[in-house]
């Protein structure tokens, strides 16, 4: 039985990951800002799968609390799934500085802060694995979401570097890029079906990629080729597009 920590345990993707891990018989540590909302999730997982589930309060926007959060865990987790993120209502705007700060704080600064503490614990133990959910939005800045995209670009670069560091210190890091996902948040949006994954697909690809020690995982392989094309459009053309 592995001890698996899920950061941002409220989301549809996090719940899909939790169900798959519980089905495999692993112990779950659920962490989220709305700690009180985790209790029904905890009870459902325990009853449905007969595995131990513990809940912890965690706030990505309070990096000063992250070291204490990690130290309060029963032990160093075997696997960490970083699932939290924040798109915000203004992911590509100059007129909402508060939202801009939150986008960067949650998606990049908060993620780096907690992963630093967890990676250090894994380094001291000599083993462990981390999966970070990033985004294809980080592969090229677009005017529609340049704040969110830049924060995810930073996260992807950090995860890549941490993976190279971890190789020499006994732990592995996997970067996951889902593309569009069918969730409660995107309900009603006109998303292209061939490019849109379900939370269960994201969960399966994430867990499988981590166990196979993959470096980067595109949940739907088509996104690898789409982003290759987008990255290679000349700036003179790209800036004119309504993207």
Domain boundaries, the chain: 3-238
**147 vs 142: CA distance, rounded Å:** 9
User: pLDDT tens across 163-180, in order?
Assistant: 999 999 999 999 999 999
Total number of residues shown for the chain: 243
* Domain 3-238, CATH homologous superfamily name and number: NAD(P)-binding Rossmann-like Domain (3.40.50.720)
pLDDT at 188: 73
pLDDT at 241: 78
**118 vs 128: CA distance, rounded Å:** 9
pLDDT at 191: 84
**26 vs 40: CA distance, rounded Å:** 18
Contacting residues for 83 by C-beta, under 8 A, at least 6 apart: 6, 7, 8, 9, 11, 13, 14, 17, 133
- Residue identified by tokens 């204490």 is 68
Flag residues of the chain having pLDDT under 50: none
Enter the pTM of the model: 0.96
86 noted as active-site residue? no
pLDDT at 185: 67
pLDDT at 215: 98
Find the catalytic residue in 148, 165, 167, 218: 148
Q: Which two tokens stand for residue 168?
A: 């020499």
pLDDT at 122: 98
Report whether 175 contacts 159 (CB < 8 A): yes
């Amino acid at each position: 039985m592995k001890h698996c920590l899920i950061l941002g345990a409220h989301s549809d993707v996090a719940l899909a990951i939790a169900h798959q891990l519980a089905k495999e018989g692993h112990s779950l540590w659920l962490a989220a800002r709305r700690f009180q909302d985790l209790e029904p999730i905890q009870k459902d997982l325990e009853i449905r799968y007969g595995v131990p589930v513990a809940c912890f309060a965690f706030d990505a926007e309070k990096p000063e609390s992250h070291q204490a959060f990690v130290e309060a865990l029963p032990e160093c987790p075997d696997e960490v799934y970083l699932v939290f993120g924040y798109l915000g209502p203004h992911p590509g705007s100059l007129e909402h500085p508060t939202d801009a700060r939150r986008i960067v704080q949650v998606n990049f600064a908060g993620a780096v802060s907690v992963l630093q503490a967890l990676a250090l614990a894994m380094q001291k133990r000599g083993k462990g694995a981390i999966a970070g959910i990033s985004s294809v939005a980080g592969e090229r800045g677009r005017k529609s979401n340049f704040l969110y995209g830049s924060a995810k670009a930073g996260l992807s670069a950090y995860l890549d570097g941490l993976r190279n560091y971890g190789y020499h210190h006994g732990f592995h890091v996997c970067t996951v890029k889902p593309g569009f996902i069918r969730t409660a948040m995107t309900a009603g949006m006109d998303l292209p079906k061939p490019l849109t994954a379900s939370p269960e697909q994201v969960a399966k690809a994430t867990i499988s990629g981590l166990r196979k020690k993959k470096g980067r995982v595109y949940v739907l392989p088509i996104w690898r080729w789409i982003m290759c094309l987008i990255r290679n459009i000349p700036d003179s053309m790209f800036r004119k597009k309504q993207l």
